[in-house]
Chain A
Amino acid sequence: MAQRFLTKQELLAWVDGLARGYRVIGPVRDEGGRTFLQEIAAAAEVDLQVGRPVNSIKEFLFPATEGILHVRRGKKAVDLRVPDAARPQVLFAVRPCDAAALTSMDALFQGEPADLYWGRRRQDTLLVGLACMQIPTPECFCTTVGGSPVGTTNLDVMLYADGAGYVAAGLTERGAALLEPAAGRPLDPPFVPPPPELAPGPCPPAEAWLRLFADRYWQRLGERCLGCKICTYNCPTCYCFDIRDRGAGGEVERLRAWDACTSKHYSVEASGHDPRPTRGARLRNRFYHKYYYFPWRYQGTILCSGCGRCVAQCPVNIDLTQVLEDVARLAGEQP
């Protein structure tokens, strides 16, 4: 589809224009020097230098806490109402790993029975990507899980930084229409960006995971884990959720909220029985879910896009890429 070259000024003017029709989400640097994805008021706020924002795009499609049901109850009757959809949004300057993560999230939420809340937000969201022309951070490992620093999966528009400006490529019909009002000059012939090199690390096959399930490795790893859950909250593919009611008297809201399988209370039953009673067992569940259970259920789709947030943010340096290497190595050593 059509490409055009935009100066930074033209790009920001285009984003300001988008804000008239959409809620626009982009990376914004805070006073402490950390960049978060958040709703922007003006394009000038956007931090286009950041390699990887602290948070992922997950919360804009699957909010950390979301009302799924409004209940008005009386003694003898009850009235149930599903909250209305939010307004359409554009996710701007999305890195390819975050966009690629939507493939597994779609498999989960769009699969039968389809999730209304995810489905309508996904429908009302356009994604404008920002290609990684250099490998942004040392923790990046998208190529290990089949991604690419310039991958366009799930994007409507891709931006490639090029000298003094950006090449903008419309990738879908909706993306091309979104790009329509942008200034700049058409690129003909189209510009094909040279992808940066990122050598993939080992990604163990199902047999390796099967072989290593009972290994002491998980218990040892669990001894380091604090159970802080940051790896799950900022992960673009960790989706485990809780459902709770909030409210008193006649007005009640049923909420869906992020949960974490690494949490101590996650699977404790009312009887007190806990099928995963140790940090090692819980941590193992997280890694197995991503690399064995989810692919088993969804035709080989890995529940990880290699963004590296869990690696960068873990307070005790539990490193998923190291775990992948260890699993590959230890499984090879097993008789």
Chain B
Amino acid sequence: MTNPFLPYVGTLAAVRDLAAGIKLYRVRLEDEAGRAAFAAYKPGQFAFLSAFGVGEVPFGLAGTPARGAELEFAVAKVGTVTAALHNLEEGAPVGVRGPMGNSFPVDDFRGRSLVIIGAGIGLAPLRPVIQHALDHRADYGRITLLVAARAPNLLCFRDEYEQWAAAPDTEFHLTVDAADADWTGNVGLVTELQARVSPDPRNAVAITCGPPIAIKFITQLLQKQSFAPEQIYTTLEMKMKCGLGKCGRCNIGERYVCVDGPVFSHAQILELIDSF
């Protein structure tokens, strides 16, 4: 009998600073079972990362299997486990459980335009969608990317923007809530940028992730911009312990974010008994 609480053993193959207080971890899975489990994970799925001795927490997988067998996690230092992960160095053993949850229905999105809006570290779980769309560029219509953060030093994956912006039929927009001395780009809330860009809802899907307050206002504005609730997707987070639909923690009404999500359309969110 397999034991879903037994993590696969991995090694921190690379650690680099992604933004202020946020690191990107690349994890190499050390055994065949782990590599097989993660051979074909989907954009939007997540996994638990263990800092042995401190605990484990879930993160959206930040890459795709097509871009490499090593798993990528964007880790902001906010709690005890993430602080312990930040103390680990390359070569350290970690545990990985997953992949878990549903995914963005990127196959259903084929033939449609994509509007992707990521705020702060919320860009990390959207990065697999971006990578997938760019790797299958002919399958999708126009791609509109909106990336935002509170400050320039909190922008994640900055070294990849140029490449994203250069992809065919792709527009890329960037904003920060507050500039620093070196910033020459847009200043303002993500919704101000979204209002100016005014993405075209025809034959499009919008995919967004960020802090709850950002998701709320981005989604409201998308609907004003004539996106139907069925055209809007987001990935939710709740505190989780098991990721298996057992520990009881991540429910929103009758749904568990871990097994019924984390990806939900806005239409599904409106049906939740406890829509927040």
Interface set of A (CB-CB < 8 Å, partner B): 68-69, 71, 73-78, 80, 82, 108-109, 113-117, 119, 210, 213, 239-245, 247-248, 252, 254, 256, 259, 261, 266-271, 273, 275, 285, 288-289, 292-293, 296-297
Contact = CB atoms under 8 A, between A and B. Distances in A.
Nearest to B84: A245
B5 A116 contact: yes
Nearest to A292: B254
B144 interface: no
Given A80-B7, A275-B276, A293-B254, A241 B238 contact: no
Contact of B52 (A78, A109, A288): A78
Contact of B238 (A108, A117, A210, A275): A275
B248 A239 contact: yes
Interface centre among A68, A245, A271 (most CB of B within 10 A): A245
Contacts of B249: 240, 259, 261, 266-267
A293 B251 contact: yes
B273 A269 contact: no
A82 B237 contact: no
B4 A270 contact: no
A114 B130 CA distance: 35
Nearest to A250: B53
- Per CB-CB distance, the 3 closest pairs between chain A and chain B, nearest first, are A240-B248, A270-B79, A78-B93
Contacts of B6: 69, 80, 82
Contact of A210 (B9, B237, B273): B273
Nearest to A239: B248
A273 B216 CA distance: 14
B248 A261 contact: yes
Interface of B: 1-7, 9, 11, 50, 52-57, 78-79, 82, 91-93, 95, 211-212, 237-239, 241-242, 244, 246-249, 251-254, 273-274, 276
Contacts, number: 112
Given A75-B92, A269-B237, A293-B254, A243 B246 contact: no
A244 B56 CA distance: 8
Question: Is chain B's binding surface mostly helix, strand, loop or mixed?
Answer: loop
A148 B95 CA distance: 46
Contact of A245 (B11, B52, B252): B52
Contacts of B91: 75-76
Contact of B241 (A71, A243, A296): A243
Nearest to A271: B78
A219 to B, nearest CB: 14
A74 B9 CA distance: 13
B5 A240 contact: no
Contact of B1 (A69, A71, A114, A254): A114
Contacts of B56: 243, 245
User: Majority SS of interface residues in chain A?
Assistant: mixed
Nearest to A272: B78
Contact of A273 (B53, B79, B212): B212
B273 A116 contact: no
B273 A213 contact: yes
Contacts of A77: 93
Among B52, B244, B248, B273, max chain A CB count under 10 A is at: B248
Contacts of B251: 285, 289, 293
A59 B47 CA distance: 29
Nearest to A252: B53
Given A69-B6, A248-B53, A271-B78, A109 B246 contact: yes
A80 B78 CA distance: 27
Contacts of B239: 266-270
A243 B254 contact: no
B94 to A, nearest CB: 8
B241 A270 contact: no
B131 to A, nearest CB: 26
Contacts of A114: 1
B9 A245 contact: no
Given A114-B1, A245-B56, A256-B5, 13 more contacts: A68-B5, A69-B6, A69-B7, A78-B95, A116-B1, A239-B248, A240-B248, A241-B242, A242-B247, A245-B54, A247-B53, A259-B247, A270-B82
9 contacts: A69-B6, A75-B91, A76-B92, A82-B6, A240-B249, A243-B241, A243-B242, A261-B248, A270-B82
